[in-house]
Amino acid sequence: FVGGLIGLLGFRELIFERNISIEILMSIAAFGALYLNLHFEATMVLLLFSISEYLELFIEDIVRRHIESFSKLLPNKARVLVGEGEEYVDLNSVSIGDVILVKPGERIPFDGVIIDGQSMVDQSIVTGESNPVLMKSGDNVYAGTMNMDGVLKIKVDKRVEESFISRIINLVVEARSRKANVERLVDKFSRFYVPIIILSSILIVVIGPIFFGGSMDSWIYKSLILIVISCPSAFIISIPSTIFIAIIVASKCGILVKGGIYIENLSKIKAILFDKTGTLTFGFPRVHNIKHINNASDEILMYAAALERFSNHPIAKAIVEEASKRNLPFENLRVEGVKELPGEGIIGYVNGLEVFVGNLDMMLKYSCNCEDPTIILEGDNHTSICVSINRSINASICFFDDVREEAKSTIESLIDLGIKPMLITGDRFDIAMGIANTIGINEVYADLSPEEKLKIIEDAKGRYGFVAMVGDGVNDAPALAASNVGIAMGSGVDAALESADVILINNKLSLIQHLIRLSRKTMSIAKQNIFISIGVKMLLGFLGFLGLIPLWFAVAIGDDGLTLLILLNSLRLTKLKCS
């Protein structure tokens, strides 16, 4: 029955998909053994092949269980607040804008914003961070995370299928289709491999007795050993299983890798370019000074905030936050014609007045009447932007952004790994050099436009071959796309998911060194699996040709044993710690 089923699968693939599969090889070997009246060997060939198929299914099951572990995190229902009461409804019945109630010990069912209450929230499934985080009113929370000890009212801002956890599930599934180059090479090889083996076995049966003597049956038996030894199942799974296990290991550390091609590219990285804001720094700049000429600082800040509330840039958020702290009514101002210029600033009309908020290059570009802006910025070592109302420079707003604590140790670790770190930023050179000197980067490019960043990346690729770019995923999309691997910090979650190849969900810069080590280890194990597979099969082929091993032994070692060995070797990746 098993033999008939395997044969049926093989011939179905041959007829409908025009592909000579592994099942065809094993069917030929089994029926050939029956022809030679070797019933035990025919049975063992099919039984052992079935075991090897089970081992492959075991690998698939690891992947399936990992994906299901995400899916099971969402509750089936949610408490929606309606009037003075609440309704317990299916997730599909909840709309964007609804307010839900989440009690202690319950999982949060939707992405949203806390509007009332505070609680410790376990976000480990999303960020990989094991310690719960205090979340309060105004903070964003994600579906699937665990509310630990408080009662939360959350305003839903995404439907269940659009939630961050759902998008992670989709990306993990899609990652399997983004194969590494070495995976595609193995796939192409396997298409031609099986027909070549069948032709070779036929030639052995025809030519063997003529040139080397012996009975036809003995040469048929040797050809059958060649067929089962040459079964490429272990070889075919050697690369995909290793790479996908690496993707799973990375996801458990809070690193989302979008495909095997990026694991392969990361293993070859020789240089990494870092953006400054939101990458080497926390990305939460604070307004610490406003230098104005004629207008009051509150009025300048209010006009700037009215415009910047339409931007997601960290500096824009800092301006809005400072205006909110001062209780300025910027939301009441009429804003029209907003246009954001990446790497420069933002333009629009506020209460009918033309307002520019951006760097000096932008001010000069739009012929603003810059009343000696160098006086405004002179002597300030922090990030600064200009505010112009009706094309007259009115003020500069100065910001301070703390460097991440792990930035220095991360740079040192990358240098130890033989990787060249570089800093590229649109900020001023003196600010960039101050940060670079603090953390140990000696190659700095500052005052860059987005186009100039692309040129720097292309130059780095010419010098080093494979390079990675690390940014916030919000303002660095072109630079991330231009590099061999774009790595985004997860603070700009939605933008990062779209623009980057790799996302550091929990914003830990130190995970970059872990990612490099994991990628190098992955490709090393993948190559080991290939060499082990080829070496064992060549040895068994030689022994089989000499008639020193039986048919069933060739299957047991060359297929089952090899598949198990490759699986165990690949699972060594799970021993790597997130550090």
Residues 6+ apart with CB under 8 A from 382: 288, 289, 398, 399, 400, 431
* Inter-residue contact 406 to 509 (CB < 8 Å): yes
Which phi and psi angles does 81 have, rounded to 5°? Answer: -80, 125
For residue 67, give the H/E element and its range: helix 39-71
The amino acid sitting at 188 is K
275 has catalytic annotation: yes
Residue-wise burial string across 225-236, b where 16 or more C-beta atoms lie within 10 A, e elsewhere: bbbbbbbbbbbb
For residue 107, the SS3 value is strand
Q: Which of 111, 116, 122, 275 is catalytic?
A: 275
Give which of 113, 474, 503 is closest to 311, Cα–Cα: 474
Q: How far apart are CA 189 and CA 206, in angstroms?
A: 26
538 membership: H or E segment, kind and range: helix 511-545
- Please name the residues in contact with 353: beta carbons below 8 A apart, sequence gap of 6 or more: 303, 389, 390
How far is Cα 491 from Cα 468, in angstroms, rounded to an integer? 19
* Contacts of residue 555, Cβ cutoff 8 Å, sequence gap at least 6: 29, 44, 45, 48, 49, 228, 231
The C-alpha angle with vertex 234 and arms to 60 and 64, in degrees rounded to 5, equals 5
Q: What count of residues does the chain have?
A: 579
CB atoms within 10 A of CB 275: 27
What is the number of other CB atoms lying within 10 angstroms of the CB of residue 97? 9
Query: Can you list the pairs that 430-435 forms with residues at least 24 positions away whose Cβ atoms lie under 8 Å?
Result: 430/381, 431/276, 431/381, 431/382, 431/383, 432/276, 434/381, 435/276, 435/280, 435/281, 435/403
Catalytically active residues are 275
